[in-house]
């Protein structure tokens, strides 16, 4: 059985104290911490390989290029992609979704519709709203029930021949709801729509097989899966990437440039204009190597135990309200009757427990549930059951102080 104590020494920041107490870090849905193995990989790049890539003929340039493309291959293997060329490096999940929205927009017109879920992060709402403004297409929303679960009957009704894009957050960052992404992707593609999965909260907790999922695009960030900030991925089907136009112009995304005409490069390079985050890509690959060495299934089972324990122990506190279904993963959101979420989170922080408060970039979802925000605890491989006890005791103590 996986023991988080075996990996905690890999994360230097977990040795910190906050307000005189050992840090209990439960804000992993916002960003996870980075192990020494990833830090070492990033440091090695700057100390031994630092050079621009792809076009240089000197030794360092060739080594840096090899390391960068090896990182792409590692990410492709983790995703079970058919070809490393399907992996586009971006600055994060938000950048990935904006990239997909801009290139997919070439296929949309004023009679078309884009379908999203009611639990989406703003990053999977606003880019599609902007595309609707440019193209004249309409945005439609799949409603959810009182448990934060998407209404599949409504989804089927909303899915028509006018639907050109389904953009779906696989796992809700606010409630931990896991949507039936594969089934919804199949239905949408059968209707003729392109499918994008926002997998920012899925990649840290679930095995990913893009070929089995049946989506066209999948987006995520490195910093939520033990990697560096500033690096993300947009995976796309290679035939689709070859057919769609580039978004940003500049170096690397071209084959030939004259003042009269430009010939674009092949994927993935046609979507990677300019110097990429070389160190970030190498660090992300190291993070996947780290996670796979531990065993994703073992980590997922451990995290499931944590979130069940959190739900059970928080439920014993008078006036607590938990949001989301029982089968949530990654995160649990809650409020305390008569107490503002910000006040509760601030007081918990004084006890050394890091949680997130607010709308979690999901204002439409919060409005659906009649609140301005929640307190969210979110989990990673290094969290422990003892930390769940500390969380529950902190909330209980804060409740007594604030009421």
DSSP secondary-structure letter at 265? P
- 364/144 Cα distance (integer angstroms): 11
Residue tagged active-site, from 42, 144, 361, 362: 361
- 211/8 Cα distance (integer angstroms): 33
Bridge partners for 166 per DSSP: 115, 195
Decide if 332 contacts 376 (C-beta within 8 A): yes
Paired tokens of 362: 């999901």
Q: Looking at 105-233, list the stretches that DSSP marks H as alpha helix, in order from N- to C-terminal side.
A: 126-135, 152-158, 181-190, 210-213
Decide if 122 contacts 361 (C-beta within 8 A): yes
The H or E element spanning position 319 is none
Residues 6+ apart with CB under 8 A from 102: 127, 131, 247
DSSP secondary-structure letter at 380? -
- 266/302 Cα distance (integer angstroms): 41
* 362: annotated active-site residue: no
Paired tokens of 96: 């990935």
Residue written as token pair 């949530």: 328
* Catalytic residue ranges: 361
């Amino acid at each position: 059985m996986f023991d988080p104590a075996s990996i905690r020494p890999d994360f230097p920041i977990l040795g910190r104290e906050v307000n005189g107490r050992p840090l209990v870090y439960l804000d992993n849905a916002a960003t996870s911490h980075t192990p020494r193995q990833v830090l070492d990989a990033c440091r090695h790049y700057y100390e031994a390989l630092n050079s621009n890539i792809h076009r240089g003929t000197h030794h360092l340039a060739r080594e840096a290029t090899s390391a960068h493309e090896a990182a792409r291959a590692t990410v492709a293997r983790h995703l079970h992609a058919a070809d490393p060329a399907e992996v586009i490096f971006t600055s994060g999940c938000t950048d990935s979704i904006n990239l997909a929205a801009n290139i997919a927009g070439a296929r949309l017109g004023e009679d078309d519709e884009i379908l999203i879920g009611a639990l989406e992060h703003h990053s999977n709402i606003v880019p599609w709203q902007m595309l609707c403004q440019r193209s004249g297409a309409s945005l439609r929303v799949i409603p959810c029930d009182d448990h934060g679960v998407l209404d599949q009957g409504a989804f089927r009704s909303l899915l028509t021949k006018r639907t050109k894009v389904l953009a779906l957050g696989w796992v809700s960052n606010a409630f931990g709801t896991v949507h039936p992404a594969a089934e919804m992707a199949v239905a949408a593609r059968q209707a003729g729509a392109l499918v994008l999965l926002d997998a920012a909260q899925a990649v840290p907790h679930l095995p990913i097989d893009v070929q089995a999922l049946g989506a066209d695009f999948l987006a995520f960030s490195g910093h939520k899966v033990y990697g560096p900030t500033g690096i993300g991925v947009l995976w796309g089907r290679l035939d689709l990437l070859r057919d769609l136009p580039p978004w940003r112009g500049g170096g690397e995304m071209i084959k030939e440039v004259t003042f009269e005409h430009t010939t674009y490069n092949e994927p993935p390079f046609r979507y990677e204009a300019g110097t990429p985050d070389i160190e970030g890509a190498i660090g992300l690959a190291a993070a996947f190597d780290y996670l796979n060495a531990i065993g994703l299934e073992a980590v997922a089972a451990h995290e499931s135990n944590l979130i069940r324990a959190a739900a059970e122990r928080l439920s014993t506190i008078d006036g607590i309200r938990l949001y989301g279904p029982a089968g949530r993963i990654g995160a649990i959101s809650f409020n305390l009757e008569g107490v503002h979420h910000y006040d509760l989170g601030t007081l918990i922080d004084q006890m050394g427990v890091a949680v997130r408060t607010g709308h979690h970039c999901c204002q439409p979802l919060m409005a659906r549930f009649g609140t301005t925000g929640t307190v969210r605890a979110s989990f990673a491989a290094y969290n422990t059951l003892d930390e769940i006890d500390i969380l529950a005791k902190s909330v209980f103590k804060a409740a007594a102080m604030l009421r």
